[in-house]
Amino acid sequence: MRPPKKTSLLSKLKIGVLYGGRSGEHDVSLCSAASVVAALDKSKYDIIAIGIDRDGRWYVQDQPEIINDQAFGKVLSLKKRGCWLVNHFEQQGKLHIYNLEKKGEKVAVDLVFPVLHGTYGEDGTLQGLLELAMVPYVGVDVAGSAVGMDKDIAKRLLKEAGIPVVPWITISRHEWREAPEKILRRAVKKLSLPVFVKPLCTGSSVGIKKVKVKKDLAQAIDFAFQYDTRIMIETGIDCREIECAVLGNEKPEASITGEILPLHEFYSYEAKYLDPDGAKMNIPAKIPTRLSAEIRKSAVMGFKALNCNSMARVDFFLEKKTNRFYLNEINTLPGFTSISMYPKLWAATGLEYHRLLDRLVELALQRHREKSFIKTD
């Protein structure tokens, strides 16, 4: 494969901001996309908004338009116009999209900035399409995205790397249908109550329930299975929630740590996005300097263990009684709203939002150049 041609210094990079998607986190994506579009440097980039509706159809927007939503605040509008076809073979290094209803209407982007949270957005599916298209894109690549999204596989790899994780069991929908009573007994025996029941491959706390008594466990399991075919039951610990942002390819770096202070019972979807007073943040986290350094080191270790690159937000539980920490999960496409933890952590570390976006674009182009030299014939 030939390396991509260098873009003229006078021409702007055409960035396609991809948002929406077939996911329970569709609305969250519209919020993140609005913040990204508003902050990208218009003197460097031409921005093309490409929305994906809940059925998976792609729509190129005439202009990026930020509107007010009653529940979510500022969101990027997603208007369904035309019938668009994605052509990833026309020109190496660019993604072409055609409107089949209007002859001659097409767009071509030099780089894709995905702001698609959850299923089909940060699970390696979209990343695989963009790899086939041979177009640069922001964020973790196929393998890291797929592993990071699957909480069971991620925990296994983290545990293998010597990073502490909370005890858990994983069950499939088939297993639950075949032997529900056996699974309930196993869960209560292996994991002390309370527990959290989670779909394996969702984010933003979608489908999660906290269970304090055994009689509520079956209902929580049924609820989680609405969002995935495999779920996790995890020991609930009395803890503080500490987060760290990681950025980089070959030499990733960690931000300072921050703490989420949920005002609900746990940091639920409602607390994150629907209740303006659902949680508070402490940046930096009010923890000892040495402990913060250990968490930051573990964040980078976890990032590498899952073969991540570009960016991720790494979430930890800090047990209140013992001050022991556990890596909860690695979010390979974290929230990018103006109040999201990932950009706020980097801003507090000294990298402002617009410069963070520039850096993510640089990392995407860097990774694409490296991959362009891989032999395929």
Q: Which residues of the chain are in CATH 3.30.1490.20 domains?
A: 168-235
Catalytic position from the list 29, 32, 204, 298? 204
- Judge whether 116 and 52 are in contact, CB under 8 Å: yes
* Edge-first strand listing for the sheet containing 209-211: 168-172, 230-235, 195-199, 209-211
Known catalytic residue at 353: no
273 flagged as catalytic: yes
Q: Which amino acid is at 172?
A: S
Residue type, 373: F
**Range of lowest pLDDT (123-132, 154-163, 257-266):** 257-266
Question: Comparing 372 with 209, which gets the higher pLDDT?
Answer: 209
Q: Give the confidence band of 10 by pLDDT, cuts at 50, 70, 90.
A: low
Which listed residue (255, 315, 340, 342) is catalytic?
Answer: 315
Domain boundaries for CATH 3.30.470.20 within the chain: 148-165+238-332
Q: Which CATH superfamily is domain 148-165+238-332 in?
A: ATP-grasp fold, B domain (3.30.470.20)
Of the pLDDT bands very low, low, confident and very high (cuts 50, 70, 90), residue 9 is: very low
171 contacts 217 by C-beta, under 8 angstroms:
no
Residue 25 appears among annotated catalytic residues: yes
**Token code pair at residue 260:** 């989420």
Q: How far is CA 263 from CA 28, 272, 277, 321, in A?
A: 20, 10, 7, 20
β-bridge pairing 45-52 and 13-20: parallel
Active site residue 335: yes
8 A C-beta contact, residue 176 and residue 169: no
At residue 88, the pLDDT reads: 66
- Comma-separated ranges of CATH 3.40.50.20 domains in the chain: 13-138
Residue 40 has pLDDT above 80, yes or no: yes
Sheet holding 279-282, edge to edge: 279-282, 253-262, 239-248, 310-319, 325-331
Task: Please indicate whether residue 19 is annotated as part of the active site.
Answer: no
Return mean pLDDT, the chain: 90
Q: How far is it, in rounded angstroms, from Cα 40 to Cα 343?
A: 13
Length of the chain (residues): 377
Name the residue among 190, 147, 142 with its Cα closest to residue 170: 190
Global model pTM greater than 0.75: yes
Please give the pLDDT value at position 11.
83
Q: What CATH topology corresponds to 13-138?
A: Rossmann fold (3.40.50)
- Is residue 237 predicted with pLDDT exceeding 80? yes
Predicted confidence at residue 256, as pLDDT, reads 98
Residue 241 is given by DSSP the state E
204 labelled catalytic: yes
Q: Is 238 a catalytic residue?
A: no
The per-residue pLDDT for 251 is: 96
Cα 312 to Cα 329: distance, rounded to the nearest angstrom: 10
User: Catalytic one among 241, 335, 342, 367?
Assistant: 335
pLDDT of 260 above 70? yes
Q: Taking the domain 168-235, which CATH number applies?
A: 3.30.1490.20
Is the pLDDT confidence value at 331 over 70?
A: yes
Q: Which of 20, 25, 45, 150 is catalytic?
A: 25
